[in-house]
């Protein structure tokens, strides 16, 4: 009887601990979701009809909240729609929200080694949350039908009045032995070899030509297929939208009224360093 009472006490303690742990996690999830909902609302608060001015103002507002903000990322037909930060420590935002407060969801962040404007491969990290937030929806690309729908990755609110559109061409799981997040390429051939490697690893295949002159973006999150698993998608920069109506490109297009001449400007032409 005494043993049974002790067992009941231990079991009760376990249930209380588990319930408390779950409750704390749910509160944390809810707090994180509310924070990012508020940030999205702040980002959308504008009376400007001009998209260029709207994005410049949004960039400035987000920069005031967190001076380590760099751009906004979204992925079509997913719930990925978040501000992205960058700091000198890749571990910092794993457990810190956009306001730099403690959070299990953390913040979406760009690799500390990256320069968004110049690097061939921009690497962005986010948690795979059980409540389907942050970078959880990257996993949708593992589904062949979703992968083939050609859902784009979009970068905006960059501070330069431009939007960057990327086409996903690779998705896979990897372990810690694969350098999925290589940022620096000293030679063209090392970048070309990297592209070949990530294409071969992809669960699904897509015929996307990528040369040493192209730029890509990598989105990565933790996965649960095996210990240390990561899920990554890679996407090629296919379009840069200059939203400034007074830009040289847009004046050129308006003056010539020629779609053919406008289309002749490449992605590389549209990047201003």
Confidence at residue 41, expressed as pLDDT on a 0 to 100 scale: 87
The pLDDT confidence band at residue 248, using thresholds 50, 70 and 90, is low
SS3 25: helix
Length of the chain in terms of residues written: 273
The pLDDT confidence band at residue 152, using thresholds 50, 70 and 90, is very high
Q: Quick one: tokens of 27?
A: 């509160």
Is the per-residue pLDDT at 174 higher than 70? yes
Confidence at residue 226, expressed as pLDDT on a 0 to 100 scale: 86
| Cα 246 off chain centre by | 29
The pLDDT confidence band at residue 273, using thresholds 50, 70 and 90, is very low
| Least reliable range by pLDDT among 42-51, 142-151, 198-207, 244-253 | 244-253
The pLDDT confidence band at residue 45, using thresholds 50, 70 and 90, is confident
pTM to 2 decimal places: 0.82
State the average pLDDT over residues 173-181.
93
Dihedral sign for Cα atoms in the order 92, 95, 100, 105: positive
The percent of residues in the chain predicted with pLDDT above 70, rounded, is 79
Is the per-residue pLDDT at 83 higher than 60? yes
Q: CA angle at residue 144 from 139 to 147, to 5 degrees? A: 65
Spatial neighbors of 71 by CB under 8 A, at least 6 apart, are 83, 84, 110, 116, 155, 156, 157, 158, 159
Q: CA angle at residue 147 from 142 to 150, to 5 degrees? A: 155
Structural Rg of the chain based on CA atoms = 22
Task: Tell me if 240 sits within 8 A of 267, measured CB to CB.
Answer: yes
| Cα 244 off chain centre by | 24
The pLDDT confidence band at residue 6, using thresholds 50, 70 and 90, is low
Confidence at residue 212, expressed as pLDDT on a 0 to 100 scale: 95
Closest CA to 236 of 265, 272, 194: 194
State the average pLDDT over residues 69-92.
97
Q: What are phi and psi of 20, to 5 degrees?
A: -65, -45
CA distances from 1 to 5, 7, 11, 13, 200 (A): 6, 10, 15, 18, 63
The percent of residues in the chain predicted with pLDDT above 90, rounded, is 68
In tens, the pLDDT along 209-220 reads 999 999 999 999
Mean residue pLDDT across the chain: 85
State the average pLDDT over residues 37-54.
82
In tens, the pLDDT along 11-26 reads 444 444 444 434 545 5
């Amino acid at each position: 009887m005494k043993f049974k009472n002790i067992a009941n006490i231990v079991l009760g303690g376990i249930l209380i601990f588990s319930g408390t742990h779950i409750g704390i996690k749910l509160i944390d999830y809810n707090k994180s979701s509310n924070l990012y909902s508020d940030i999205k609302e702040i980002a959308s608060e504008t009376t400007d009809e001009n998209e260029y001015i709207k994005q410049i103002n949004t960039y400035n507002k987000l920069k005031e909240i967190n001076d380590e903000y760099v751009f906004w990322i979204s992925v079509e037909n997913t719930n990925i729609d978040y501000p992205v930060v960058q700091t000198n420590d890749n571990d910092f935002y794993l457990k810190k929200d956009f306001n730099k407060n403690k959070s299990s969801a953390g913040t979406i962040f760009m690799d500390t080694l990256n320069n968004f404007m110049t690097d061939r491969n921009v690497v962005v990290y986010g948690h795979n949350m059980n409540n389907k937030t942050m970078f959880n929806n990257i996993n949708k690309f593992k589904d062949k039908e979703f992968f083939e729908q050609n859902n784009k990755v979009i970068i905006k609110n960059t501070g330069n009045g431009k939007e960057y559109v990327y086409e996903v061409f690779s998705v896979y799981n990897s372990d810690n032995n694969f350098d999925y997040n290589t940022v620096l390429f000293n030679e063209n051939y090392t970048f070309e070899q990297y592209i070949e490697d990530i294409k071969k690893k992809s669960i699904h295949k897509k015929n996307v030509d990528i040369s040493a002159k192209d730029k890509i973006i990598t989105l990565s999150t933790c996965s649960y297929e095996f210990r240390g698993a990561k899920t990554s998608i890679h996407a090629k920069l296919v379009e840069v939208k200059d939203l400034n109506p007074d830009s040289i490109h847009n004046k050129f297009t308006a003056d010539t009224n020629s779609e053919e001449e406008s289309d002749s400007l490449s992605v590389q032409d549209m990047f201003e360093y």
